[in-house]
Structure 1
């Protein structure tokens, strides 16, 4: 039990690994200094290390820089811990403090500082004198390693500060614990794992990219049809079905399964699975991010509907581009026109719901949001083909009902449902009439009104 407690303390402590690195630096410095003394400081010529004065200046800069970098790493680590506690969970702190990369970075910077200081004490003279060449070269190597580690540490900290980074940190460790603590069950006689016509995901993650051309070529060679189970951007658990394999048109009556002519590992490699969604092939992820910004801005304690309007501007623009474009059918054919790969894709209704559903529910009590939504929906109806009007009409109907639930006064309801491209700023009820003078009495022309003449 004492050994178990010691191992637990080693794994969860922030200070032990850096301390061991510093002790290792002291031992390396003492060893190289002893080697330099025994050789009479002649192993490395001063043409490489520089004069004693040069070496003193360089090592002094190194020592100062390492002290600053060590402070920086400790500060960033504490900032990450504070952000994680405030935005996610206080219980995630232990996982952050036991992060080995951060501990090694602190230890390397501390070891470089110690080696530089100990080597600096051994330099004698100014222009002429002795320079412990091996120790100076060791300091140079540690400094280069520290610079590389600093760049990697900044990248690592940035990744860790993301929600995905923290979730993956806990998820990966728990997954490793499950694999090591629980014995693997025997493969079932039925189910996805035993089905020869199912290709499973090798690792968990979100579908980032699909090499459709090579998948079509592989399905053509095997004379089968591949069905991509997840939509691009979906999270796939490890071992979950990634593809279903169906017989090809010329082998429909063949007794041998089509998966027998496919190598599951090669097929699975043609789908890139990453820790989080990317914009590579996932247009809906851009809408998802804008919706997150919009919804978060009108939630407490932020209460910033103007930021929500800015996100709605871009959502409106994106849907306007999609409204008049054909959406992919999700069928991919080979050179003979035979369907070899099928996948589910987001429909026009799906894009409209993704862009507006959550904002409509969260912003029904904000007149800026409802007015901007009305303006966007009416504009989209003016350019979308008739067969795409139903999702827009649904949004208008639900928005009207939500506004009636949020307000009691009829004037407030009418104002909240007035289309306005700026929330409150360019609607027909808050702008002056346009006057046209064509030699006839002045005519008031408001947005949506028919211009005389």
Structure 2
């Protein structure tokens, strides 16, 4: 596959196997406290290290009798003290500005697009890095102030320490903070635009599709179920499963596990989460922490989530309160891009095997018809009266019909026929219907 490309123009790659720390990594990406906490701890550790080095430098110069050089260093440290004091006083105001920009951006994106895009800001690396550096600079500058000894002009013969390297690092962190602030504002302004947000969602969805291992339509299904494993944790959205741990547990107990809900389904305690085939259910200790449940869906193991978000943005754009068909056309561009990739994939139930090649875990994934319905059904209901959207939708369906195999053309033809019927009902004039039913990749350019 290394020499081929998918319809999106991205070189095709072999699916990446799930890693043991994927679940933890995704959970940390959905938090906004981890990176700043690490930054504060790092700032404290760095201050301890540099404080020791500064103390050693002063002691070494005193032992060598280099009091003139030590006096010059103390003068520099005294001059830098004013800057450090100013930084410590102003940095909290700077942090407040960053938070204000973030909240305004999140509010605008949530109102104009969909609340589900808020996670883009929460997971933004530049936002977390900027806040981390700002907080670390503020904490480090306060710690540096405690290293200064009293008196306007300390005696080089009696001084025990001087924050020389600490002051230099503070100045460097201030410069880094200014550069990050410019990068942060640029990134935030970009994420407030429709195009970059749709591109971000599409990239996430393409990565989720690439993670799906190739399945085969003729794979045998497991025999009749012999036991069930019910969900005993909190209620929530099934965000992912630890495939490697489940395969090991199933192999150890000589059974086949079938995941009953799909990734993205809402599960409640007491409902079955695994169907066991070929023996008794593994003990609860073997299946502990193999299922990740959260408050909302994530794209990591959920290839349909990207289509859901794109559809939501298009539906809001087509609502009477927003009335922005151009945004809906942009969403259709990305939807067609995703389906053009998915049309080449097997989209069969995933059969995860152990080292001996025996199937140990069966996982359901959305089929081709389900993806097409998710992409077009709701948009088609709202787009009949918007010729710009109907023209783009027809062009997208025609493009997908050219790419699809014969067995996958039926849902596309069905949606095309239903769209034509909807336009005929919504537009009474023959000329208007003819215009609205003319395929155009730009809608109305």
Q: TM-score range by the shorter chain?
A: 0.5 to 0.7
For the structure 1 residues 47 and 230, does the alpha-carbon distance in structure 2 shift closer, same or farther, using more than 3 Å as the test? farther
1:226 aligns with 2:226: no
**How far 1:105 moved relative to its partner?**
11
Out of 65, 73, 84, the position equivalent to 1:62 is 84
Query: Is the 1:51–1:128 contact (alpha carbons within 8 Å) kept by the matching residues of 2?
Result: no
Query: Is the 2:228–2:272 contact (alpha carbons within 8 Å) kept by the matching residues of 1?
Result: no
Task: Report the Cα distance in structure 2 between the residues aligned to 1:82 and 1:385, rounded to whole angstroms.
Answer: 46
Higher mean alpha-carbon deviation, 351-360 vs 279-288, is at 279-288
Q: Name the TM-score, length of structure 1 as normaliser.
A: 0.56
Q: Which residue of 2 aligns with 1:375?
A: 395
Q: Which residue of 1 aligns with 2:308?
A: 288
Task: Report the Cα distance in structure 2 between the residues aligned to 1:118 and 1:332, rounded to whole angstroms.
Answer: 58
Query: Is the 1:198–1:242 contact (alpha carbons within 8 Å) kept by the matching residues of 2?
Result: yes
For the structure 1 residues 374 and 58, does the alpha-carbon distance in structure 2 shift closer, same or farther, using more than 3 Å as the test? same
Q: Which residue of 1 aligns with 2:13?
A: none
Tell me how many residue pairs correspond in the alignment. 319
Q: Which residue of 1 aligns with 2:93?
A: 71
Tell me, what secondary structure is at the counterpart of 1:422?
Answer: coil
Query: Is the 1:229–1:243 contact (alpha carbons within 8 Å) kept by the matching residues of 2?
Result: yes
Q: How big is the alpha-carbon RMSD for the aligned residues of Structure 1 and Structure 2?
A: 4.7
Task: Report the Cα distance in structure 2 between the residues aligned to 1:379 and 1:359, rounded to whole angstroms.
Answer: 18
Query: Is the 1:122–1:132 contact (alpha carbons within 8 Å) kept by the matching residues of 2?
Result: no
Task: Report the Cα distance in structure 2 between the residues aligned to 1:390 and 1:211, rounded to whole angstroms.
Answer: 35
The gaps in structure 1 that reach 5 residues or longer are 1-40, 90-103, 163-195, 252-257, 426-453
Query: Is the 1:201–1:242 contact (alpha carbons within 8 Å) kept by the matching residues of 2?
Result: no
Task: Report the Cα distance in structure 1 between the residues aligned to 2:357 and 2:270, rounded to whole angstroms.
Answer: 30
Tell me, what secondary structure is at the counterpart of 1:408?
Answer: coil
Task: Report the Cα distance in structure 1 between the residues aligned to 2:357 and 2:144, rounded to whole angstroms.
Answer: 69
Tell me, what secondary structure is at the counterpart of 2:372?
Answer: helix
Out of 196, 200, 212, the position equivalent to 2:243 is 212
1:124 aligns with 2:152: yes
Counterparts of 1:155-174 in structure 2, within 5 Å, are none
1:388 aligns with 2:408: yes
Task: Report the Cα distance in structure 2 between the residues aligned to 1:332 and 1:106, rounded to whole angstroms.
Answer: 45
For the structure 1 residues 268 and 296, does the alpha-carbon distance in structure 2 shift closer, same or farther, using more than 3 Å as the test? farther
**How far 1:109 moved relative to its partner?**
7.9
**How far 1:372 moved relative to its partner?**
1.0
1:243 aligns with 2:273: yes
Query: Is the 2:229–2:276 contact (alpha carbons within 8 Å) kept by the matching residues of 1?
Result: no
**How far 1:111 moved relative to its partner?**
7.7
Tell me, what secondary structure is at the counterpart of 1:269?
Answer: coil
Task: Report the Cα distance in structure 2 between the residues aligned to 1:240 and 1:109, rounded to whole angstroms.
Answer: 49
Tell me, what secondary structure is at the counterpart of 2:308?
Answer: helix
**How far 1:119 moved relative to its partner?**
7.1
**How far 1:351 moved relative to its partner?**
0.6
Q: Which residue of 1 aligns with 2:224?
A: none
Higher mean alpha-carbon deviation, 306-315 vs 353-362, is at 306-315
1:353 aligns with 2:379: no
Q: Which residue of 1 aligns with 2:195?
A: none
Tell me, what secondary structure is at the counterpart of 2:346?
Answer: coil
For the structure 1 residues 114 and 226, does the alpha-carbon distance in structure 2 shift closer, same or farther, using more than 3 Å as the test? closer
Counterparts of 1:170-319 in structure 2, within 5 Å, are 197-200=228-231, 202-203=233-234, 206-237=237-268, 239=269, 241=271, 243-248=273-278, 251=279, 258-259=280-281, 262-273=282-293, 276-299=296-319, 302-319=322-339
For the structure 1 residues 330 and 110, does the alpha-carbon distance in structure 2 shift closer, same or farther, using more than 3 Å as the test? closer
**How far 1:347 moved relative to its partner?**
1.2
Higher mean alpha-carbon deviation, 298-307 vs 41-50, is at 41-50
Query: Is the 1:219–1:226 contact (alpha carbons within 8 Å) kept by the matching residues of 2?
Result: yes
Structure with more contact order per residue of length (Cα contacts < 8 Å, sep ≥ 6): 2
1:409 aligns with 2:421: no
For the structure 1 residues 133 and 335, does the alpha-carbon distance in structure 2 shift closer, same or farther, using more than 3 Å as the test? closer
1:418 aligns with 2:435: no
**How far 1:228 moved relative to its partner?**
1.2
Instruction: Find the structure with the greater CA-based Rg.
Output: 1
Tell me, what secondary structure is at the counterpart of 1:124?
Answer: coil
The gaps in structure 2 that reach 5 residues or longer are 1-54, 63-69, 116-131, 182-186, 193-226
For the structure 1 residues 106 and 326, does the alpha-carbon distance in structure 2 shift closer, same or farther, using more than 3 Å as the test? closer
Can you list the C-alpha shifts for 1:422-444, whole angstroms capped at 9, x where unaligned?
2134xxxxxxxxxxxxxxxxxxx
Q: Which residue of 1 aligns with 2:42?
A: none
Task: Report the Cα distance in structure 1 between the residues aligned to 2:318 and 2:441, rounded to whole angstroms.
Answer: 18
Task: Report the Cα distance in structure 2 between the residues aligned to 1:44 and 1:317, rounded to whole angstroms.
Answer: 64
Q: Which residue of 2 aligns with 1:323?
A: 343
Tell me, what secondary structure is at the counterpart of 1:281?
Answer: coil
Task: Report the Cα distance in structure 1 between the residues aligned to 2:289 and 2:323, rounded to whole angstroms.
Answer: 45
